[in-house]
Amino acid sequence: MASFEISNLDHVAIRVADIETSVDWYTQVLGLKKYKLEKWGDYPIFMFAGKTGIALFPANVEDPEVPDTKNVKIDHFAFYVTRDNFEKAKIKYNKLGLIYTLSDHHYFHSMYTKDPDGHTVELTTLVVPPDQFY
C-alpha cells in the first residue's frame, strides 16, 4: 500500500451567522486574509494565514442552497504560531478586550478565544524543541 505525508492543515469549514461579521473578526483578531472565489458565488469565503485557514459558510438552515451539513459545528481549530508571536497575540487580545484562556499542555502552550459565533479558536506554540514533540 502506498503511503503519503500530510503537509499541513489546509482549512476548516465553519458555519457562521453573519459572514461579514466573521470576516471582520478573523481579519482584525488573527490577521487572516480574505479570498473570495468568484466562480463559487457568495460562499464559501476563505480566510488564510499562509497555507492554513478557514472556509466560512452561512448557517441559515432555511436556505435550500446550503448543503446538508448546515448544522454541524466543530469543537475547535488551532493555528500554530511561534513563541514570540504567541506573546504578541496576548498583547493584541488584551488591547482588543477579548476574553481568552491560557493552557499549559507541557509540550506546547495554547490560548483559546471565541469567534462571533462561539467557535473556539486556538493559538498554539511549542515550548520544547520540535524534535522532542514531532
Q: Kindly report, residue by residue over 88-111, the tens digit of the pLDDT.
A: 999 999 999 999 999 998 888 999
Note the pLDDT of residue 103.
92
User: What average pLDDT does range 68-93 have in this prediction?
Assistant: 80
**70 pLDDT above the threshold of 60:** no
Task: Measure the CA–CA gap between 114 and 11, rounded to whole angstroms.
Answer: 18
CA dihedral 65, 25, 81, 120 (to 10 degrees): -60
pTM (2 d.p.)? 0.72
Chain centre distance of CA 6? 18
